[in-house]
Structure 1
Amino acid sequence: MLNLSHIPVLNITRDTLKNTIMQRVGEGRKTLLFFANTNLIVKAQAIVSRLHSPDVMIVNDGIGVDIASWLVHGQRFKDNLNGTDFTPFYFEGNLQHKIYLIGSTTPDLEKAAFYFTHTLGQKIVGASDGFEDIKNPQLIDKINASGADVVLVGMGNPLQETWILDHYQALNAKLFMGVGALFVFLAGNKPRAPEWVRQYRLEWLFRMLLEPKRLVKRYTVDIVYFLYLCLKNKSATKQGKAN
């Protein structure tokens, strides 16, 4: 476990993560999986205490978090675990689950549902968009009535994490994942970076060049603030140990 600005991030391989989640789900334990990129760590400071629940598993996403871990702890993460890649990896070849999708738009959800059904062999039992459907006071009852054992929420940080934390206890599902822009990618509305770009850990640059107005601040000003938070936490931890 590597703590970054009070957020506990697992240092784990994707195979071990998959096996751990499968074991927890098999035992009937509720599991909340969050992917900590720099944006989440900055925006989730207000809900830090809730992220220390034994039901929550947080893994690293992106080179920024890797750099921070090296600066704070002197070690890097074993794998780069982002929701866009890990989610399909988890379900591929897995037992069939009943999955409910929340977030994005209805057209995106329809295309994402097709992918989960026809490519991953999973069963989609319902979907609700992240704009109007999410406001439905009967949404929790609707999800429970669907028989879903997995709920995937793609609404961005920290909205998706907060929604899951607020509602998972009232839901019968066992596995909850905050998947970010996964549905948008699966729908083909935003291209993924080429494989060689991802191998060099430069997908953030690819995305920023595609959406400069939305992402330039995240990958410049916000990344500086992120590193400040992590290093500030490191100093505070050292001072506490010294006292």
Structure 2
Amino acid sequence: MSTASTSSEEGEPYDTLFEPEVNSDSTPIGETSEITEKLSKLDGGKSHGTDACDSNDGNRAFREARADQGHQEQQRTLEREVLYATVSERIAQQVDGIEWKYDVAKVLAAFGVDVPGNKPDDGAIQQAYRKAALQFHPDRNVGRSAEERMYNEEAWKLISTAMDGYSARPAQHSIAKGKSGPANERSKRGSTGGTKLAKANPNGNPNGKKQPLGPGFWRAGGINAKSSHSQNGVTGGGRGIWDS
């Protein structure tokens, strides 16, 4: 018996017929695992970069929100400062007006002339001043003794000086209307109470004498509304004070 042939009918060996074909383009198994690992790393890197970008966007939005909040806070602080300055100025003007009225009322009361009302306004001050003028003005000293004339002259000097300072204040009529005026005008002139009143007009008559008022100053039962004279003969000292 013949041995098995190691070749086919066509003459090709069996090991050649059953040898698997090898694709030259295919990747070995070991190299495939390495490529898979690299792809995995690439995907992970891409995800990490996206997360970092989202984080940067969040930080930018947070910074912008904080900056806007700081700007709003600065704006509110500025508005509060402006409001405080406005309110402080109005309060200073009101206190200034009250102090001037108190000083005038105090001087008038010292010579027996009371200002009507618990809270005197401009009208009450003017009414009391007219009453004091009828009593103490030098033109009313006719027929009085030398002592009475001297007393009335000194009293009128103090009263008219206090009233001159009060009526010369530009803010006295604007306070009630809410208009702004020079605040603390009283502090520029000094106190009108006590003995400082006699020093408020350093340019006055050195002899302390008052010049007689011109014709038309006095009215029957009152004072001419168009003539106003200070104690030392300076016209215009009681600006508008005679007007009712």
Structure-1-length-normalised TM-score: 0.22
Structure showing greater radius of gyration is 2
Would you tell me which structure has more strand in proportion to its own residues? 1
